[in-house]
Structure 1
Amino acid sequence: MFDLHRLRLLRELKHRGTLAAVAAALSYSPSSVSQQLSQLESEVGVPLLEPVGRRVRLTPQAEILVAHTEAVLERLERAEADIATSLTELTGTLRLASFQTAALALVPAALTRLRDAHPHLRVHVTQMEPERALPALLARDFDLVVGEEYPDNPNPRSNELEQEDLCDDPLRLAQPDPALTADSASPTEALRALAGHPWVMEPQGTAARHWAMTLCRNAGFEPDVRFESTDLLLHLRLVELGHAAALLPDLVWNGRPPTIALRRLPRGHQARRIFTAVRRGRGRHPAIQACRDALRQATTP
């Protein structure tokens, strides 16, 4: 029988990439992690790690072990959910990660509902972009992630995660000066009218940036991106002061009236998908279900 603790360390190494990262995440020393993995190699009887420069990677046999470990941990997630369901009151800690606009517009209202309905459930919230939060969910740093998916730009689908739609969030062109486009202009014409104007977008490598660049290029121009930030409130401020054009989701307003001129986007590019994600097997946990219900209620004014 292989030692489950050591198997989990091997799984952590697959998801975190280095022995140092595993040690930091689990509050061990790197030498302790290395020693535990060496003992696992002795149990299994085959090499599990091979050096690649100054790092290590998993052997094919280690990948087989990790796949079985994932199945065992999924079953344990289900066992934990069944135990929690058998109790009459929700307790413990739920670790939630959310990107900025959902953290501002949805999470506080959801927290209020959870506090009223389940006062002994402790919710720990971290603001984090989905590009980092979803891998951290797989690494068990979080229990639930609020993520986003942009039009025609689907996220990779991990078999180890379960997603559930939360809402659609309309996206609009934010104009620094309404006079730049005629009221009768089509959505594509309104975009093209801002071809020579500075833009603010999210940083390179993000799904939002890829979608925004594709949208502008399909309209026939290369945007002049002078400002980069994941902070959409900064995007809004730059538009309000006339420094940049932007592409903003409706969640930015959090129920308040818009302060700038907004235009529809070309058909097929008009909303991003907001979803929640959990590790496979954990969706039945009553704390997860309660949080998802609270988030869904928060999407309704």
Structure 2
Amino acid sequence: MFDLRRLRLLHELSMRGTLAAVADALSFSPSTISQQLAQLERDAGVPLLEPDGRRVRLTAQGEALAAHAARMLAADEAARAELESLQPSRAPVRLAVMQSAAHGILPRALGALAETEPGLRVEVVELAPEESLFEVAARGFDLAVAEQYPGHTREQRQLLERRTLGRDAIHLAVAHGDDAASITDLSERAWVMEPEGTAARQWATQQCRAAGFEPDVRFELADLTAHVRLVASGHAVGMIPALVFGGDEPATRLLDLPGRPRREIFTAVRRGTAERPGIRAVRSALQTAFDGATGISADPAPRG
């Protein structure tokens, strides 16, 4: 019989790519990982790993067993979820949340859980969607809150179940008192955007190019509160999702973008854990919090 713990190490290696990354993610030493995978090879009776420079890679047999491992781990989680639903436990829920959701809905969600599930421990880490979805698939977290921008799709991971929380308006943001009326008025301005490689950066850049100009990105920051401060102080203009303000009065003046675009906000869990009572409770609280955080609208264009 295969040891499920060793199968998880093989699955993690197929996801993360290196023994060092697996060791870091699971808080083991690389030598321990190597020893356990060597034992798994002996159990399988076939080579699972082969040298690749200073690293190792999966053989064809290793890839095949890693695919089976993913299904076995999912079945194990599904069984545990069903048992937990019959006799609810207090297993912690590990939540990876993007920054705008941390500002806009997390406090409300935790408040709701304090009333409905006072014994449930929720452990939260802020991660960009690109990283959080990977970590949920790799079993680093139980649940992620992520986004998808209009016209941009994210990788569909077979192990994950996605559920839409709702749509979040994305606005142009300028300082109060700024007389800009549309994106075309901002072609010569300094912009603040998220770092290169993020979906948010790619999408924002495309909006500027569609308006006929290349944005002068002088400020590249992952912290959206810093975006708001820079815009509010008049040092930059930007594109800010309404969720950042969490239903509060915006610190900047907001303008509509062409077509009034909205991004999709969703939660993602591994299919085998979707019915865990704790995860269901956290998802429900996030939905309630999101519903209470909507309703921010843009200002009309100023009249000359």
- Give the TM interval when normalised to the shorter protein: over 0.9
Structure 2 counterpart of 1:73, one-letter code: L
Q: Can you give the 5+ residue segments of structure 2 that lack an aligned partner in the other structure?
A: 293-304
Structure 1 counterpart of 2:220, one-letter code: E
Q: Deviations over 1:66-111 (max 9, x none)?
A: 1111111111111111111112x54121101101110111111111
Equivalent in the alignment of 1:297: 288
Structure 2 counterpart of 1:52, one-letter code: D
Equivalent in the alignment of 1:133: 132
Q: Deviations over 1:101-124 (max 9, x none)?
A: 101111111111112111211111
Structure 2 counterpart of 1:40, one-letter code: L
Task: Please give the secondary structure, in 2, of the residue aligned with 1:147.
Answer: strand
C-alpha separation between the residues in 2 aligned to 1:233 and 1:161? 30
C-alpha separation between the residues in 1 aligned to 2:251 and 2:278? 37
User: Is the contact made by 1:90 and 1:120 (CA closer than 8 Å) also made in structure 2?
Assistant: no
Task: Please give the secondary structure, in 2, of the residue aligned with 1:299.
Answer: helix
C-alpha displacement of 1:181: 2.9
C-alpha separation between the residues in 1 aligned to 2:3 and 2:272? 22
Structure 1 counterpart of 2:97, one-letter code: S
User: Is the contact made by 1:172 and 1:265 (CA closer than 8 Å) also made in structure 2?
Assistant: yes
Change (3 A) 1:43 1:110: same
C-alpha displacement of 1:210: 0.6
Equivalent in the alignment of 1:288: 279
User: Is the contact made by 2:100 and 2:224 (CA closer than 8 Å) also made in structure 1?
Assistant: yes
Equivalent in the alignment of 2:8: 8
C-alpha separation between the residues in 1 aligned to 2:261 and 2:174? 16
Following superposition of structure 1 onto structure 2, how do residues 134-283 of structure 1 map, counting pairs within 5 Å?
134-176=133-175, 179-182=178-181, 190-267=182-259, 270-283=261-274
C-alpha displacement of 1:258: 2.0
C-alpha separation between the residues in 2 aligned to 1:258 and 1:20? 44
C-alpha displacement of 1:298: 0.7
User: Is the contact made by 2:103 and 2:245 (CA closer than 8 Å) also made in structure 1?
Assistant: no
| Count of aligned pairs | 292
TM-score when scaled to structure 1? Answer: 0.93
User: Is the contact made by 2:23 and 2:29 (CA closer than 8 Å) also made in structure 1?
Assistant: yes
C-alpha displacement of 1:247: 0.2
Percent of matched pairs sharing the same residue: 50
C-alpha separation between the residues in 2 aligned to 1:41 and 1:275? 39
C-alpha separation between the residues in 1 aligned to 2:207 and 2:185? 14
Following superposition of structure 1 onto structure 2, how do residues 41-80 of structure 1 map, counting pairs within 5 Å?
41-80=41-80
User: Is the contact made by 1:166 and 1:274 (CA closer than 8 Å) also made in structure 2?
Assistant: yes
C-alpha displacement of 1:177: 6.4
Equivalent in the alignment of 2:21: 21
C-alpha separation between the residues in 2 aligned to 1:224 and 1:246? 11
C-alpha separation between the residues in 2 aligned to 1:218 and 1:211? 11
C-alpha displacement of 1:2: 2.2
User: Is the contact made by 2:137 and 2:157 (CA closer than 8 Å) also made in structure 1?
Assistant: no
C-alpha separation between the residues in 2 aligned to 1:218 and 1:233? 26
Structure 1 counterpart of 2:60, one-letter code: P
User: Is the contact made by 1:180 and 1:194 (CA closer than 8 Å) also made in structure 2?
Assistant: no
Equivalent in the alignment of 2:298: none
